[in-house]
């Protein structure tokens, strides 16, 4: 594993030992672990709404009571500023839990359906039941949020859960492995740490659902492993999410919101604005606004800013450096890289060639390519020529342009005159489409993802079977049935 030392400007807090666990991952007997959770689930303990609400309340307390420990761990792993940890990791999940707890009784209520006259007397309902034992595999970039938000949804639906945090954010993984058993029912929940061997072993088990957040390469491995057991999967895979700034946009606003999405977590965000298409008439204005945003947020020396994090390890830093070294653009702002410090400056590129290496893959770092267009049809065509993105951001004052982009493209989600904020709307499902994933969660969508919609028809035991429906089908029966059925 690449060195995970904290950036010089943000030394690791004392007491953080990424390798410290009571049970090393290699010691887990995974079949026995899964069997234990299945036995716990079989007792019915996870089904009562009171139990689910109590577990959710406890998970919410964890986020508040252990904030300092998460701040220390994420500072170690990602150089993440304390406020960013609170806002983008802890509070985001806390808000999700609050919404679930407010709505769960309503979501779980059986839904009555109309019964055809030929089956009356009778009643029909759709009831939600838990799937069973599910696996949640989280990434390293938002290692708390992207593990605990799906976990909350799975709890709401009444499942037992195995949580697999990423080994790349090792201090946070160790913190989660230590704390979650202190707050949640150990007969229904478990944390498995480790790397590729442990994840591979987990995928060999039979699950009732798997949720994976990460890249498409690993997503395919997860889907293939799940297919062996016909296990349903939810895949959140990211991709190159574009922003479009049209000539009638509020450029100052666009620069502010694009900068927030791109430089949050040092660009290591699956819904960050990966690149920008800007109308040539406002290109210079956008570059000037972006420069002002960077300086106002991080100062003239972002490497010394306590508000700007680090790339997760030297390997990923080298990868981003390679994209910059490959060229195919001019550097409009930033461009500095310090591999040993895991630092990549907030960087804006201009004159970007469509075939530049930086346009060939999701950047996942604080580097923002800016390309120009003369007609909105050009970015629409460029977006459609690639994989369907996880998110699309459009800045314009024209309702006609909004509709044209919505009708002409496909993406997991869309923000108009904003970026990444759609994640904070409880009623909006969050998920991808095509290469950016399938399935969704957040709010009710998460509850539905981890639930089975079971159809139930009930008819009284003393009802009479209408002879009209039974053979022999005489001519008059046939004629009557065709008329009324």
**Segment holding 367, helix H or strand E:** strand 367-373
Which candidate in 270, 283, 362, 415 is catalytic? 270
| DSSP H helices in 66-168 | 67-78, 82-84, 92-108, 145-156
Q: What are phi and psi of 369, to 5 degrees?
A: -75, 140
For 449, the token pair is 């993802």
Break the chain down into helix, strand, coil percent, rounded to 5.
45, 15, 35
Distance of CA 174 to the CA centre of its chain: 21
Instruction: Give one word for 262, left, alpha or beta, with left for phi > 0 and alpha for psi -120 to 50.
Output: alpha
Q: Is 415 a catalytic residue?
A: no
* 111 exposure class (CB count in 10 Å sphere: 0-12, 13-18, 19+): exposed
Q: Give the integer Cα–Cα distance in Å for 267 and 259.
A: 10
196 Cβ contact list (under 8 Å, min separation 6): none
Q: Give the integer Cα–Cα distance in Å for 249 and 254.
A: 7
Which candidate in 236, 283, 362, 435 is catalytic? 236
What does the buried/exposed string (b/e) look like for 389-402 if buried means 16 or more CB atoms within 10 Å of the residue's CB?
bbbbbbbbeeeebb
Q: Of 361, 366, 374, which is closest to residue 435 (Cα–Cα)? A: 361
Q: Is 270 a catalytic residue?
A: yes
Let me know: does 372 contact 278? Beta carbons within 8 Å: yes
Q: Give the integer Cα–Cα distance in Å for 235 and 395.
A: 28
Q: Of 19, 20, 12, 166, which is closest to residue 74 (Cα–Cα)? A: 12
209 pairs with which residues across the strands?
134
Catalytic positions are 236, 270
């Amino acid at each position: 594993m690449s060195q995970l030392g904290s950036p010089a400007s943000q030394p690791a807090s004392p007491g953080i030992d990424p390798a410290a666990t009571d049970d090393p991952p290699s010691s887990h007997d995974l079949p026995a672990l899964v069997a234990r959770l299945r036995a716990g689930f079989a007792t019915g303990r996870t089904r009562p709404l009171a139990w689910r609400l109590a577990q959710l309340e406890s998970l919410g307390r964890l986020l508040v009571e252990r904030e300092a420990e998460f701040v220390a761990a994420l500072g170690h792993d990602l150089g993440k500023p304390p406020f960013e940890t609170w806002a983008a990791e802890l509070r985001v999940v806390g808000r999700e839990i609050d919404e679930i707890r407010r709505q769960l009784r309503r979501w779980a209520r059986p839904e009555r359906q109309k019964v055809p006259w030929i089956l009356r007397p009778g009643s029909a309902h759709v009831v939600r039941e838990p799937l069973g034992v599910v696996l949640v595999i989280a990434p390293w970039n938002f290692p708390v949020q992207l593990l605990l938000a799906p976990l909350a949804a799975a709890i709401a639906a009444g499942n037992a859960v195995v949580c697999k945090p990423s080994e790349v954010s090792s201090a946070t993984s160790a913190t989660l492995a230590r704390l979650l058993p202190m707050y949640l029912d150990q007969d229904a929940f478990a944390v498995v740490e480790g790397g590729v061997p442990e994840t591979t072993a987990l995928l060999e088990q039979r699950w009732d659902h798997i949720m994976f957040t990460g890249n498409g390469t690993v997503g395919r491995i997860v889907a293939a492993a799940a297919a062996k057991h016909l296990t349903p999967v939810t895949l959140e895979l990211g991709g190159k999410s574009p922003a479009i700034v049209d000539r009638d946009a509020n450029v100052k606003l666009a620069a502010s919101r694009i900068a927030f999405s791109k430089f949050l977590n040092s660009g290591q965000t699956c819904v960050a604005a990966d690149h920008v298409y800007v109308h040539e008439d406002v290109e210079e204005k956008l570059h000037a606004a972006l420069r002002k945003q960077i300086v106002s947020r991080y100062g003239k020396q972002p490497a010394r800013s306590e508000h700007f994090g680090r790339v997760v390890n030297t390997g990923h830093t080298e990868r981003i450096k390679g994209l910059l070294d490959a060229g195919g653009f001019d550097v409009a702002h930033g461009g500095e890289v310090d591999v040993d410090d895991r630092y990549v400056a907030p960087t804006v590129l201009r004159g970007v060639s469509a075939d530049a290496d930086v346009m060939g893959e999701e950047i996942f770092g604080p580097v923002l390519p800016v390309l120009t267009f003369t007609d909105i049809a050009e970015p629409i065509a460029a977006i459609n020529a690639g994989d369907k993105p996880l998110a699309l951001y459009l800045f314009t004052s024209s309702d006609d342009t909004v509709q044209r982009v919505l009708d002409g493209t496909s993406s997991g989600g869309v923000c108009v005159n904003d970026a990444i904020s759609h994640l904070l709307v409880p009623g909006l499902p969050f998920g991808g489409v095509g290469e950016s994933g399938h399935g969704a969660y957040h709010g009710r969508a998460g509850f539905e993802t981890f639930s089975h919609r079971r159809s139930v028809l009930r008819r009284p035991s003393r009802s009479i079977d209408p002879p009209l429906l039974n053979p022999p089908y005489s001519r008059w029966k046939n004629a009557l049935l065709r008329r009324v059925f």
